Amino acid sequence: MNRTRRPFIILLPVAVVAALSCADAEPESAGAAPANEIPTFQVEPNWAKIPTGWVLGQVSSVAVDRRDHVWVLQRPTTLEPAEASMAAPPVLEFDPEGNFVQAWGGPSPEYPWPESEHGIFVDYKDFVWIGGNGPTDQVLKFTMAGELVMQIGTPGESTGNLDTQNLSRPADQWVHPPTNEVFIADGYGNRRVIVYDADTGAFKRMWGAFGNPPTDGEVDPGWTAEQEGDGPPHFSPPVHAARVSNDGLVYVSDRGGKRVQVFTIDGTYVSQVFIGRECMAPECGNGQTAASTAFSPDPEQRYLYVGNRSQAHVMVLDRRTLEILDSFGEWGSEPGNFGTMHHMAVDSKGNLFVGEVTPLEPVNRRVQKFALTGMRPRAVP
């Protein structure tokens, strides 16, 4: 176990830029009253204080625990040789003010650490869940101190989308307290959501796009602007995130399919929204959009935030209707801009945290904090 506690000193810059983006939506619930206000954000520079002498690799994921501590998952092996000796441990914890608390993680003889760190989540029992997008095939459950509690999946053992005991390059995980189940976006090798008991690791159920049984076979290259209709009948990898709302709806980020699909917790399809369907590679990054989602912290979770990877926007949606209300951000390295946007999280005050994994220019290896500043009236045509 690699675990380190150190003082802090430097910052990760952040800011906000307004912009608009297009998408096609289907209402989640007919007749729902539209939102008449839109949340506003302001970047909070100098928030995360990284210990002196440490540098971050690609920041793949961020999570917020019930104390509003922010957990960052980063990839030390993505650093160039000149910086490799300064690499921070993969898991870093910060308090709400951005002060460094602790760090741990990395290869260990006790468990197979992911070769490429991808998703982090802290559940309601204070367990920390880690997954990797490969070539590794496991999700690991730790205490907050970094001690292994459980492993789901064995590296190299997956036989495909019908295998209920193993995973294939899982992208994300989320624990739903009412059922104590972990929902895994499985993800890069497979194309499904799979659910396990969060205490025992026992398999519960799984599904693909539109609630169809997950299947192996040819992978659809994705959804393009020229195509019409509901999109491919299966997820287009990577299935990048799965998040469960307070009212028991599962929001799946079908990044390759440029859409967020919504399900009940038993896998029944409810609705979907396209995110940047007009975005095409190479004109628009890699042409993939819906990287992750996050919910506003009010009891109704009125707003759904969607990370639009290739268009470098955070999209603001009415969660009930899936109507796109606003967006902000653009490509760049300035505070508030985004490189390759990845996972997101929201704290109890409504502040939004976004990780970036930009491998090329702009080289953004950071987690940005966008502080919720209030609400503004929505301009209705």
- What percentage of the chain exceeds 90 in pLDDT? 77
Structure confidence by residue, pLDDT tens digits, 255-281: 999 999 999 999 999 999 999 988 988
Selection from 5, 24, 7, 11 nearest residue 324 by Cα: 24
* pLDDT level of residue 85 (50, 70, 90 thresholds): very high
The predicted structure's pLDDT at residue 77: 95
Q: Does residue 99 register a pLDDT over 50?
A: yes
Which residues contact residue 18 at a Cβ distance below 8 angstroms, ignoring those fewer than 6 apart? 326, 327, 328
Cβ-based neighbours of 21, under 8 Å, separated by 6 or more: 275, 276, 308, 311, 313, 315, 324, 327
> Cβ(338)–Cβ(354) under 8 Å?
yes
Sheet containing strand 128-132, strands side by side? 117-122, 128-132, 139-142, 148-152
Residue 45 has pLDDT above 60, yes or no: yes
Distance CA 127, CA 106 (A): 17
Q: Which tokens belong to 345?
A: 């999280």
Query: Does position 380 have pLDDT exceeding 50, yes or no?
Result: yes
Among the residue ranges 163-177, 178-192, 346-360, the one predicted with the least confidence is 346-360
What per-residue confidence (pLDDT) applies to 25? 41
Band of residue 13 on the pLDDT scale cut at 50, 70, 90: very low
| Token code pair at residue 3 | 């675990």
Mind listing the pLDDT tens digit for each residue in 223-258?
554 566 888 899 999 999 999 999 999 999 999 999
Place of tokens 């793949």: 60
Contact 270, 320 (CB under 8 A): no
> What pLDDT shows up at residue 35?
74
Q: Which one has a higher pLDDT value, 343 or 45?
A: 343
pLDDT at 217: 76
227, exposed or middle or buried, with CB in 10 Å at 0-12, 13-18, 19+? exposed
Q: Please classify residue 380 by burial: count the beta carbons closer than 10 Å to its beta carbon, then call 0-12 exposed, 13-18 middle and 19+ buried.
A: exposed
Whole-number pLDDT of residue 19: 33
Give the closest residue to 75 by CA, choosing from 44, 113, 40, 109: 113
Residue-level pLDDT at 27: 41
What's residue 136's pLDDT?
78
pTM summary value: 0.90
User: Mean pLDDT of all residues in the chain?
Assistant: 89
Model pLDDT for residues 102-149, shown as the tens digit of each residue: 999 999 999 999 999 999 999 999 999 999 988 878 999 999 999 999
177-185's contacts with Cβ under 8 Å and 24+ in sequence apart are: 177/123, 177/124, 178/248, 179/265, 181/265, 182/123, 182/129, 182/139, 182/152, 183/242, 183/244, 183/250, 184/131, 184/139, 184/152, 184/242, 185/119, 185/238, 185/239, 185/240, 185/241, 185/242, 185/252, 185/253
- 8 A C-beta contact, residue 343 and residue 58: no
Q: Is residue 219 over pLDDT 80? A: no
pLDDT for the residue numbered 28: 42
| pLDDT tens sequence across 309-354 | 999 999 999 999 999 999 999 999 899 999 899 999 999 999 999 9
**Quick one: average pLDDT of 67-80?**
96
What confidence score (pLDDT) does residue 224 get?
58
Please check the confidence at residue 22 and state whether its pLDDT lies above 50.
Answer: no
Query: What integer is the mean pLDDT of 34-45?
Result: 89
Confidence band (pLDDT; 50, 70, 90) for 301? very high
Asked if the peptide bond before residue 238 counts as cis, ω within 30 degrees of 0, the response is yes
Q: Which domains does the chain have, with CATH numbers?
A: 3-377 (2.120.10.30)
Amino acid 130: pLDDT? 98
148-158 tens-digit pLDDT: 999 999 999 99
Give the span between the Cα atoms of 332 and 326, in whole angstroms: 19
